[in-house]
Structure 1
Amino acid sequence: MSSNDASLISPAEAASATATLIDVRSEKSRIEFGTVAGAIVVDKAAVEAEFGAADRDRDEPIVVFCGSVQGSGPVVDELKGLGYTDVSHVDGGFPALKEHGVPTVD
């Protein structure tokens, strides 16, 4: 499976979405640049452990971001493979969200 452009959303769409935000950037990047307020931090290697539980709502909207779409795209594919139906990622990643003015925390 590979991520396609249909799963990409703009920073503005991400900012206005009522969705679970997932930050899959490295700890180093989060320490250096902060993260989006309210985002859940998930290690890319732990996506299945975090989201594979049988009791999770597979229709919940999820927006994934990384430093770029190359980092978030595989996570989108993995979540879709786990049965999630409303998964997208941010065109431009965290830098684009921050530039758009999405509230961040250190």
Structure 2
Amino acid sequence: MSVVNSITARDAKSHHEHDHAVIVDARPQVVRHQGSLPGAVVVDPTDVRKRFTPTPSGTFPVVRDPDTEIAVVSVRSQAPAIAEEIADLGYTNVHYVDGGYGALRTAYRA
């Protein structure tokens, strides 16, 4: 198992806005009614492994470069585990957003 760290909502937003990071919204569909995040890749938590597993040819399907920074937003208790799951599939720069959706949404409003 790899080790992922948190990233602040402010840093995740800044990295995303400067095309240095991809935001992955892995909140369950039942809580996505709270709103969306601009430009985020939406993946149901139950589909993470299927959506992020490299193809048989070795390419990475959701985020093309395995070294791209990925910032995961989910239910707070699930975010670290989902980030770990993505990292375990070969992505090398995965974080979870500290404070989750609420913190990131606030950062986008600031």
- Structure 1 length as normaliser, TM-score? 0.83
1:59–1:85: 8 Å Cα contact kept in structure 2?
A: yes
Report % sequence identity.
34
**Structure 2 stretches lacking a partner, 5+ long:** none
State the Cα deviation string for residues 38-80 of structure 1 (Å, max 9, x = none).
Answer: 1111111211111112311211111100131x21111111111
Q: Following superposition, which runs of at least 4 residues in structure 1 exceed 2 angstroms of deviation?
A: 1-4
CA root-mean-square deviation? 1.6
For 1:58, the aligned partner's letter is P
Contact 1:67 1:95 in 2 (8 A): no
2:21 to 19, 22, 25: 19
Letter in 2 for 1:21: I
Per-residue deviation at 1:99? 1.9
Aligned length: 98
Give unpaired runs (5+ residues) of structure 1: none
C-alpha distance in structure 2 between counterparts of 1:59 and 1:9, whole Å? 16
